[in-house]
Amino acid sequence: MGDQEIYQKFMEYMNNPLWEFTESEHLMPMIKAFLTPDEAEFLTGFPQGSRTLEQIADIKNMDPDELLPIIKAHCRKGTIYEGMRGDSVRYRLWSAVEMFIRPAFWADEVEETAKAMAPHSNKYYMDGWYDQKKPFPHPELRTIPISQTVQSPTGFMPFEDVMQVVENYEYYTVSQCPCRARHNLDPDYQDSPFPMEVCLHFNELGHYIVDNGLGREITKEETLEILKKSADAGLVHGVANVEETPDTICNCDLEYCTYFKPYHQLGFDKSHEPSNYLVSTTPNTCKACGLCVKRCPMDALQLKFSTEATNKFRKAVVVQEENCIGCGVCVHKCKAKAITLKRRETTTQPHKTIKDLVNLNAMAALSAKGLMDKKN
């Protein structure tokens, strides 16, 4: 079998109604830069659902002792995920979307193949992959506000309080932000000015990351300090749009984040869910310094003339509610206390579990492609 056919079979195997490769001149160069023909051939047919080493050995018709080092190498590369199911270690492929944008870029020292892939990956995802997500009615990422920026934090639900979320873990780790790392490796982009080591992972995913050299273990106190540093830098906290305890807390920027970029640059308003909070202003205490306007990642704030303003400029900050995602980045640095977050009149409830969220979007994707009847 020739190399081109090997890569084609890999692409066909990775396709599914939820994550399907789209036509792009950057697709094949992205795959070839990251995977050798031998790696692509090995991954073709590898279980996409969790299986034990012995089960995979049967599928691959290989001796388990011969198979394990190959799997472990792929775990370090970021193509295979290793986790626990009960008392047994299980392995599965990372999905097509995750494999080419996320785990390969977590490590401090990115592999040469990932470096070569980065420019193609960035262009591929802007070239049409985001179009696939438009049928998804349920955002995968949810903004979670900076706790101390909310008017009545006692009204927080557990999934809305990033500090309370952090209390729920037993194992804490941090890695590089894969979105900024990927763009920093692309000569067509300027290096991000934001902190890099701010991608927080917990429990099982954290163990996978540390065991495979993709990040490092930290304490709960260090986790809280990273959250503070991220808020100071103007980054937005984001978690999976579910009630169950998330395994990752993202600290996102506007330009390079996989979820914020399509929202802001492509007008795709279902890439992430705003928090249940909204900026509230007090014009008579506003100093019209403009810092909040500068820090807002969504261009939701403006300084305008106000009859209530008491500063020499007679201006106060005004919020465009339709743009506000309730992150608290603006509030966090307001020394005049002229802005806070208040609970929205209409709030949204995250889904119970990741499985619920994925299934709902999968059904929407199938329906958009006219495949629901075939699946049912």
Instruction: Report how far residue 357's alpha carbon sits from residue 343's, in angstroms, rounded to the nearest whole number.
Output: 24
Instruction: Report how far residue 257's alpha carbon sits from residue 261's, in angstroms, rounded to the nearest whole number.
Output: 5
Task: Write the single-letter amino acid at 207.
Answer: H
Residue 23 pLDDT grade (very low, low, confident, very high; cuts 50, 70, 90): confident
Tokens of 376: 């049912």
Task: Write the single-letter amino acid at 55.
Answer: Q
pLDDT digits (tens, 9 = 90+) for 81-132: 999 988 999 999 998 888 999 999 999 988 899 999 999 999 988 876 666 6
Contact between residue 248 and residue 240 where contact means Cβ atoms under 8 Å apart: yes
Where are the strands (E) in the chain, listed by range? 80-85, 88-93, 141-143, 172-175, 199-202, 216-218, 236-240, 248-252, 272-273, 277-281, 301-305, 315-319, 339-343
Residue with tokens 């201006």: 315
What are the domain boundaries of the chain? Answer: 1-100, 118-273, 277-343
State the pTM of this model: 0.91
**Position 374 pLDDT exceeds 50:** no
DSSP at 313 = T
Residue 2 pLDDT grade (very low, low, confident, very high; cuts 50, 70, 90): very high
**Position 356 pLDDT exceeds 70:** yes
Instruction: Report how far residue 243's alpha carbon sits from residue 171's, in angstroms, rounded to the nearest whole number.
Output: 19
**Position 376 pLDDT exceeds 50:** no
> Hey, what CATH class is 1-100 in?
mainly alpha
Instruction: Report how far residue 238's alpha carbon sits from residue 250's, in angstroms, rounded to the nearest whole number.
Output: 5
Contact between residue 264 and residue 126 where contact means Cβ atoms under 8 Å apart: no
**Position 20 pLDDT exceeds 80:** no
pLDDT digits (tens, 9 = 90+) for 280-291: 999 999 999 999
pLDDT at 139: 84
Closest CA to 149 of 136, 162, 138, 168: 162
Instruction: Report how far residue 162's alpha carbon sits from residue 143's, in angstroms, rounded to the nearest whole number.
Output: 10
> Hey, what CATH class is 277-343 in?
alpha beta
Instruction: Report how far residue 256's alpha carbon sits from residue 249's, in angstroms, rounded to the nearest whole number.
Output: 16
